Structure 1
Amino acid sequence: MSQTPFDASERLAWAGRGEAYAAGFGRLCAHPVPALLVAAGVGAGVRVLDAGTGTGVAAAAAAACGARVSAVDAEPDMVRLAAGAVPAADVRIGVLPHLPYPDGEFDAVVGNFVLNHVGRPRRALAELCRVTRPGGWIALAVWASPAAAGQALLGRAVRAAGVSRPGWLPALAPDEDFPRTEDGLTGLLGAAGLVAPGCRTLSWNHRATPDEWWRGPAAGVATIGRTVNSRGPVVADRIRRRFELLAAEFADASGVLVLPHRALLASGRVPARRHSP
């Protein structure tokens, strides 16, 4: 079975929420894109796949570089938005770990946080390797652990309100997980057979108003949104009030939140010669 309970839960978490994501978390997740494209060697004429394209931010940036862009996402609403944002790209539905492309189709593959949303990261990475030509590059971003203070804010508000992750919301199976550290992600790429895998940490401050930062969870976006809304509007409002109190720690003189975040950026090259199993 290629789809796990975690995968099924992710499909529900993102279904129909493309615009809500774009207005909030989407701006946050755009930060690693320039570095991701550089790490994968994306430039004019390069055949690149943006795996887990979301609303198409990385695909659009690759197209602006003159690359020949394809993009996939598991969520039809995201595919619709990405196709509208990047008309020059071939955007279609694709669900890891099975992508609708032949072996070696791309010179480069990028995945901006896609491994955070799959139930079998190793199989997903193997599939990204399969569709990359020998000698081609793969570059991936994932959230670092432990989370930076800005990233942890919403979770703190949930706990302060006395709410825990719902028992019906599946987590990634422990035997499928990997350390969300530079060494852990480098090791994942090395175990997949990528040559000269490397990883570095990206740190930045994301700026948003309290209303902007709350809007995504209130709309049910991602796991945090499903948790916020899991016990009805009264409890969701209690979480919101805790959020507003805690958010004051990050507010600048104008009231805008300055939220520290950290992500891992890793890359590696598919071997020039693939070994038979």
Structure 2
Amino acid sequence: MTTTAFDQSERRAWAGRAAAYAAGFARLCAHPVPRLLDAAEVGRGTRLLDVGTGTGTVAAAAIARGARVTAVDAEPSMVESAARAAPGADVRLATLPNLPFADGEFDAVVGNFVVNHVGRPRAALAELHRVTRPGGHLAVTVWATPAAPGQTLLGRAVEAAGVTRPPDLPALAAEDDFPRTEQGLAALLTGAGLTRASGETLRWDHRTTIEEWWAGPAAGVATIGQLIARQPAPVVGEIRSRFEALSAEFTTPDGELLLPHAALLARGRA
């Protein structure tokens, strides 16, 4: 299947950035992992596929449960990092929606925030369904909309600095998008042929620091990082100044940040 402009932009955004991701956003994305694995009923002996493994947090947690783990990611630096983080996992380079596995090869399939990063979410879910055995479990997470206050902090700083999204930084096509709600994500699974689909909202406060929260985007991580990286140095300085000012509402007495976040978790049966 031909990749979309969104897919191509995502590949550029993450190229070579595993270390920068691991130093910041990876801790944020680790919060739902236990619930994600529970939703997919991952335990000892489970043949699990972790799609979009990133730096291997889900894969490592599943191995600790005794699962037999295969993990894939579209970014080579992530594959290298995940292989180190999850020894014992079979970690491979692969891109949705074309996975190199047989029909029904896995007892369970999970994707922690991977659906946020594909140009055709419905095709991606159909492929995850294909490689899940009949009766097996599938579970995925995405960021909720509207976004929680902590998730919008960096975007607010960019907006306050007068920066707008350039037209050549593509968003997901309207016909490929879906409601980022419990019902919307569950419907995505149902549309992909899964049964007993349901969704829930996960909320947590992510503890970090101004320096850690700034470092990833400053290194070009994710779409927000790509937007910042395109700016001349004076504008980046203005974004940083606005970010520090806006961070005050989330600053704890010990000087750290406590950022409210919300994600959606959906599960279904093949």
Length-normalised TM-score, structure 1:
0.97
Aligned residue number for residue 170 of structure 2? 170
- 2: CA distance, partners of 1:250 / 1:152: 12
What is the Cα deviation at residue 165 of structure 1? 1.1
Letter in 1 for 2:219: A
- 1: CA distance, partners of 2:21 / 2:108: 26
Aligned residue number for residue 46 of structure 1? 46
Question: Is residue 253 of structure 2 the alignment partner of residue 234 of structure 1?
Answer: no
CA offsets per residue over residues 122-155 of structure 1, 9 Å max, x none?
A: 0000000011000000000000000000000000
Aligned residue number for residue 107 of structure 2? 107
- 2: CA distance, partners of 1:259 / 1:144: 15
Q: RMSD of the TM alignment (CA)?
A: 0.6
- 2: CA distance, partners of 1:86 / 1:204: 25
Maintained 8 Å contact 1:51/1:112: yes
Letter in 1 for 2:96: L
- 2: CA distance, partners of 1:66 / 1:201: 27
SS at match of 2:80: helix
Instruction: Note the 1:1-277 alignment, pairs <5 A.
Output: 1-270=1-270
What is the Cα deviation at residue 33 of structure 1? 0.3
Letter in 2 for 1:106: F
- 2: CA distance, partners of 1:19 / 1:243: 23
The percentage of counterpart residues that share the same residue type is 67
Length-normalised TM-score, structure 2:
0.99
What is the Cα deviation at residue 190 of structure 1? 1.1
SS at match of 1:149: coil
What is the Cα deviation at residue 192 of structure 1? 1.1
May I ask how many residue pairs the two structures share in their alignment? 270
What is the Cα deviation at residue 2 of structure 1? 2.8
Q: Extract structure 1 runs of 4+ deviating beyond 2 A.
A: none
CA offsets per residue over residues 65-111 of structure 1, 9 Å max, x none?
A: 00000000000000000001111000000100000111111000000
- 2: CA distance, partners of 1:137 / 1:151: 29
Maintained 8 Å contact 1:166/1:230: no
SS at match of 2:28: helix
